[in-house]
Structure 1
Amino acid sequence: MDLYGFYTGSCFDAYTFLGARLTGEGAVFRTFAPAARRVSLIGAFRNWEEIPMEREWDGNFWSCTVPEARAGMGYKFRIYQGNGKVLDHCDPYGYRMELRPNTASILWDVDGYEFHDGDWMARRGAGLDRPVNLYELHAGAWQKPGPGPADWYDYEDLARRLIPYLQENGYTHVELMPLSEHPSDSSWGYQNTGFFSPTSRYGTPDQLKAFVDWCHQGGIGVVLDFVPVHFAVDDYALWNYDGTALYEYPHRDVGVSEWGSCNFMHSRGEVRSFLQSAAHFWLEKYHFDGLRMDAVRNLIYWQGDPARGENAGGISFLREMNRGLRERHPDVFLAAEDSSAHGGVTAPPEMGGMGFHYKWDMGWMNDTLAYFALPPEERGKHRGKLTFSMHYFHDERYLLPFSHDEVVHGKGSMLEKMPGTEEEKLDQLRALYLYLYTHPGKKLDFMGNDLAQPHEWGEDRGLEWSVLEDPRHGAYHRFRRDLNLVYRSWEPLWSWDYRPEGFSWAETDAEREDVFAFWRKGETGAMLALCRFSAGEEVPCTIPLPEGSAGLELVIASDWDFYGGATPSEERVFPAKDGAVTVTLPPCAARCYRLLKE
């Protein structure tokens, strides 16, 4: 670790110096606590008796060597503050922690696992011209081995169940909600205490590495939700670490987040080095294929509020962190969960941008869900909610998310958001998802949405898998599987996502506000999406075709009978006549066609 880089915020490897390092002669322990009056190490290796630590380097670091320390032993740093208080803290750079409610760090050999994913690592990439279909997952609430809220599969058991499911259902990646250690189950991992420690709820660090390794061997990428904005207020962790605001702001105005947690002080070099090192650590040591950065709006603006002005320290932190990560890991992607309208989020750092590969399109998500919440007979008057996204789509590289946040806290499940009877809800939900998978942009969908789960999710229970015993939900699930496979199989649906020529509205003679038709184009051809989201009778729709076209082939339809609709699937090819094709479009249905050449 370079000391100057640590203080100036350009360090990405602070974890190689700070924390606990196993050696052939025990372990070396170090912590950064410049304002501490005294620091001692306590741990299982000396029956939790104090071992004095000595100042080193410039006097702001404390260290000691313990010959009898071994992997698996717990430890803490006892900080004697300048005001006379004494508090025991977990290691900010520790590689493992005890399961809550216990709070000790655990000695661990971070290099003890041997990966076998070399083929995957050699060919992976950021995915701009590839299909990206993310399955967002809470590791403790997908499936559970028992009824209790703390009944969890470990990382390896989860992998054995999850990987075949992802493969069979056509997903390219799994995105894991935060796994950094956290004290409260109800925080879902978004209020961390151990930024280098995977939560012990689901096993050991090596078991998490096995999860990633096995996913890669099975052709599945793994993305981690990373939280660089704030941390848990628990006094055994980062808060008031050396008796001063070492990681946080010293005042509450911008120091306490809207969630009651402590905001990191991103203008401070040591804080930047801590967070950058953590981000690099997960990519380097665990082979994650990308990071989703949480609550980016709260880094761009003070407390996430544009009225309070831009947070220059937060913006420059994002830019320089992403610059460093892209240099060190050119084959991973960085995604911003950002609800702001600030520009340049996906522009390269060298052009003054923040350096993300993708930005969540929260505007598209909100407009789309607001549109589908309307009764079908009223949707025609609100056409702009679905057309507006393409007015700004090429300002950034957008990813289209239906995430965990949209199906919790009284918002209802995706099925509950649709109006009408159970059958009408399922019809609309199938049409909505075909629209999602034909719209430009990479995709993210939360677990349970693929089942048309009847109720919101919760971190204390598994998904409602029994719903698939209902033939209607089983048919919906087949549709979602086939739709994913169609998306992956047809290059025009993803390769030109971020090229303006990859999308154009299609002309139709159906002068109706409830019909949406658009072309998706790529190197190998073109696809047509034809959507109608209103009720009523079937309507004819004539679509002019490009010169030299022989017709259209129907690839998938949300209204096919074996998906729960009413339309037989026999008719697939529609020859051109006078340079156009005419089809009938039922209510609340969406279809995807392949353009046939002469």
Structure 2
Amino acid sequence: MSQDAVIPFCNEPWLGEADVWLLREGRHLRPWEKLGAHPCTLGGRAGTAFAVWAPDARQVSVVGDFNRWDARQHVMQHRVECGAWEVFVPDVREGARYKFSVQALDGQHVLKTDPYALHSERGAGRAGIVMNLPEFALRPTGQRATANALTAPMAIYEVHVGSWRRAHGVSLDWDALARTLVPYVAALGFTHIELMPVSEPPCHGPWGCQSTGLYAPMARYGTPDAFRRFVTAAHDAGLQVLLDWVPAPFPARAQDSGPFESAMPLEALDPCDACQCNWMALIHNCKRVEVRNFLVGNALFWVECYGVDGLRVDAVTSMLYRDPSCSGSEWVSHYDGVRENHGAIEFLRELNRMLGQEAPGTITVAEESSAYPGVTAPPGAGGLGFHHKWNLGWMHDTLTYFSMDPVHRPQHHDRITFALIYAYSERFVLALSHDEVVQGKGSLYSKMWGAPWQKRANLRALYALMYAHPGRKLLFMGSELAQVREWNHDGELDWSLLDNPDHAGVQRLVRDLNHLYRSHAALHARDDEPEGFGWIDVQDPSRLVFSFVRHGFGTAQQMVVVCNMTPVARQGYRLGVPQLGVWTEVMNTDAVGYGGSGVAHAGTVVSERVSWQGYAASVVLTLPPLGVLWLAPGAGP
């Protein structure tokens, strides 16, 4: 210890014997309660206890406002048993800024941020701010589990809060978003709101897809208490809150602190495990139980301390495989000859087991783009244990189809039908996410084929097809406006489009699709059962028509869906239906109110005892151009 170091006021340890053992074993269920900065009273004196896991450091000091950032003042005690360092500093209160001064084994001193900081300053410094732990976020018993049940509807509105809407060019804060964003999403009928990463990023860049502060909500949108109020407002409006969570990549370089800004050694030693080439980022070293404990604890932290209802886990593929973005000589096979990252696989299983035990009803959704088997299978059965997986194959095939001139669509009918071959291999989310409207890809509207009216018609048909297809639903913000421009994270959505009745009609369509999807069990109750879906006609590519029926439980829970993917109406089209009687047209994407041409029926159609397409009954329809019809049994409300 330096001769200039100040001996801490209290030698009473902050980390108890049980904490030390659990941290060493990587089994501390709530590590954030002991690591980081915690206002407390020790030895009868009020102050703050600081603790950080830095097993490879020669010496660690805490520096901040309270000691003029002098590393000689408060040198931390090394708890060799678990690799942690701790010190109690009297009279340090909430609001104090701090960092850790770490002396590496080579003698170099660098300033590092606290990976367990609960609050961070705005701007380039990104010092931690001392604050008390948030209280446990209580929710009514069963509310989360009911809303997230596998048979419940799930329609997710994905939002980047910094560019949803702005006031005088400035992003709205959490309190303003609670007053505006929450009622907007609820009125559109979505069941869940998914927030792009809200943890503190390394810079004021756009996406938050890398983070230096997984435990701190972004300071640019307000205080941690304000974020908690936002989550409460969403719950009060009947919305579940999903958080984009990024346990895979973190920044390879921060501006004043060497390879990584965190005081914890999080990256892997093996470069093939540590680097993500495409993103110029590092990957967490999930072979170390302490790093897995940091990440698993963080997942539970957001659920228990802020009340979020689930996590969409980003970049799972980059965790499952050793540097999947590199090829050839850029990666080497694992010691047992396979490419999988076994430490990361065990971490994901541990994550899902823990949340299932400690936070029942919480869901996890994997963004996983490979064919890795059993992503949504239980860990005990060899799976990863996620509740859902993004269906990126469906997304790619479907958007490719809708971008084609109808002249070429007959040769690509399987772009629509192929997804049903594997639809029940996992529990899927059909995601039209932010990834599809950035980096030169254009907006969903711009991807559609045709003139402006045809683009809007295709877009409406795409949405109606998605909502009728097996799988949960996700739309990125702005999709409901038929946004013409690509998403700009430095701006806001083009709200002025709603002055155009055609764009307002697309928004109205999304609202009605959400409400119909939620109110008709046939569209969601058996998403994961092959018995919940049946083709009516899948062999009519020459006319670009395909039709199917969704089944709930019983004949009253059925929905017939027929799609016409040509820009001309089809008169006198006979369609087989599952039962005799009245069928009500509950959705017509070509309705005038949605900006369509108004090729519609009188609201109901009566089936005839004419066998057709394998059914004993059939109806005769007029199919609207580039349109989708939904027919439900009965005379309607």
Could you say whether these structures have the same fold, taking a TM-score greater than 0.5 normalized by the shorter chain as the test?
A: yes
Structure 2: gaps of 5 or more residues: 1-17, 328-332, 334-338, 610-616
Q: C-alpha distance in 2, partners of 1:342/1:356?
A: 13
Structure 1 equivalent of residue 15 of structure 2: none
Q: In the alignment, which of 563, 571, 575 is matched to residue 543 of structure 1?
A: 575
Letter aligned with residue 285 of structure 1: C
What does residue 171 of structure 1 align with? 190
C-alpha contact 2:315 2:368 (8 A) present in aligned 1: yes
1:45 maps onto 2:75 in alignment: no
- Secondary structure of the corresponding residue to residue 102 of structure 1: coil
* Residues 98 and 128, structure 2, Cα contact 8 Å, conserved in 1: yes
User: CA separation in 1, counterparts of 2:66 and 2:173?
Assistant: 27
The answer to whether the 8 A contact 1:545-1:551 is kept is no
Q: Closer, same or farther in 2 for the Cα pair 1:168/1:498, shift >3 Å?
A: same
* Superposition pairs of residues 314-325 of structure 1, within 5 angstroms: 314-325=344-355
DSSP-derived class of the 1:45 partner:
helix
Structure 2 partner of 1:585: 623
- Larger relative contact order, structure 1 or 2 (CA cutoff 8 Å, min sep 6): 1
Distance 1:467 1:155 in 2: 25
1:27-68 Cα deviation digits (max 9, x unpaired): 111011122111111111233333121123616221111121
Task: Report the residue type matching 2:69 in the other structure.
Answer: W
User: Mapping of 1:285-364 within 5 angstroms?
Assistant: 285-304=305-324, 309-364=339-394
Instruction: Report the alpha carbon displacement of residue 350 of structure 1 after superposing the two structures with TM.
Output: 1.1
- Measure the CA separation in 1 of the matches of 2:138 and 2:258: 35
Q: Deviations over 1:389-439 (max 9, x none)?
A: 010011100110000000011111010001211111101100110000000
Match of 2:30 among 13, 31, 41: 13
Distance verdict in 2 for CA 1:223–1:561, change over 3 Å? same
Q: Does 1:60 align with 2:83?
A: yes
**Alignment of 1:405 onto 2:435:** yes
Question: Residues 539-582 of structure 1: CA distance to partner in whole angstroms, max 9, x if unpaired?
Answer: 432122234x2131100110111211112556111001122111
Correspondent of 2:98 among 72, 75, 80? 75
TM-score by length of 2: 0.89
CA distance in 2: counterparts of 1:450 and 1:471, whole angstroms: 13
Alpha-carbon distance change, 474 to 494 in structure 1, aligned in 2, over 3 angstroms = same
Q: Which amino acid aligns with 2:425?
A: D
| Structure-2 residue corresponding to 1:255 | 274
Shift of residue 253, structure 1, vs aligned partner: 3.5
Deviations 1:73-98 (A, max 9, x none): 11111111111110111111110111
Worse-superposed segment, 523-532 or 340-349: 523-532
Relative to structure 1, the CA distance from residue 46 to residue 505 in structure 2 (aligned partners, 3 Å threshold; closer, same or farther) is same
Q: Secondary structure at the match of 1:485?
A: helix
Match of residue 597 from structure 2: 566
Structure 1 position 357, deviation (Å): 0.2
Any residues of structure 2 matched to 1:41-440 within 5 Å, and which? Answer: 41-49=62-70, 50-56=73-79, 58=81, 60-111=83-134, 117-118=139-140, 121=143, 124-147=146-169, 151-235=170-254, 239=259, 246-257=265-276, 258-304=278-324, 309-440=339-470
1:526 partnered with 2:521 = no
Q: 1:499 to 1:59 in 2, by over 3 A?
A: closer
Corresponding residue of 1:556: 587
Unaligned runs of 5+ in 1: none
| RMSD over equivalenced CA pairs, Å | 2.2
Deviation at 1:597, TM superposition (A): 9.0
User: Distance in 2 between the 1:237 and 1:121 partners?
Assistant: 44
**C-alpha distance in 1, partners of 2:186/2:228?**
19
Asked whether the 8 Å contact 2:448–2:459 carries over to 1, the reply is: yes
8 Å Cα contact 1:193-1:231 kept in structure 2:
yes
CA distance in 2, matches of 1:198, 1:227: 13
Is this contact kept in 2: 1:293–1:337, CA < 8 A? yes
The CA deviation at 1:186 is: 3.0
**More deviation in 385-394 or 187-196?**
187-196
Tell me, in whole angstroms, the C-alpha distance in 2 between the residues paired with 1:572 and 1:277. Answer: 54
Amino acid across the alignment from 1:486: L
* AA aligned opposite 1:591: L
Q: Give 1:182 deviation, angstroms.
A: 0.5
Supply the distance in 2 between the matched residues of 1:405 and 1:59 (Cα, whole angstroms). Answer: 40
Q: What letter matches 2:563 in structure 1? A: C
Residue aligning to 1:501 = 531
Instruction: Assess, with a 3 A threshold, how the Cα gap between structure 1 residues 241 and 139 changes in structure 2: closer, same or farther.
Output: closer
For residue 233 of structure 2, give the secondary structure of its aligned residue in structure 1: helix
Change (3 A) 1:30 1:585: same
Instruction: Flag the 1:8–1:125 CA change in 2: closer, same or farther, 3 A.
Output: farther
Match of 2:10 in 1: none
- Structure 1 SS opposite 2:107: coil
SS of the equivalent of 1:376 reads: coil
Matched, 1:34 2:55: yes
Q: Residue type matched to 2:620 in 1?
A: T
Q: Structure 1 2/513 Cα, relative in aligned 2: closer, same or farther at 3 Å?
A: farther
CA distance in 2, matches of 1:122, 1:430: 31
| CA displacement at 1:302 relative to structure 2 | 1.1
SS of the counterpart of 2:238?
coil
One-letter code aligned to 1:206: D
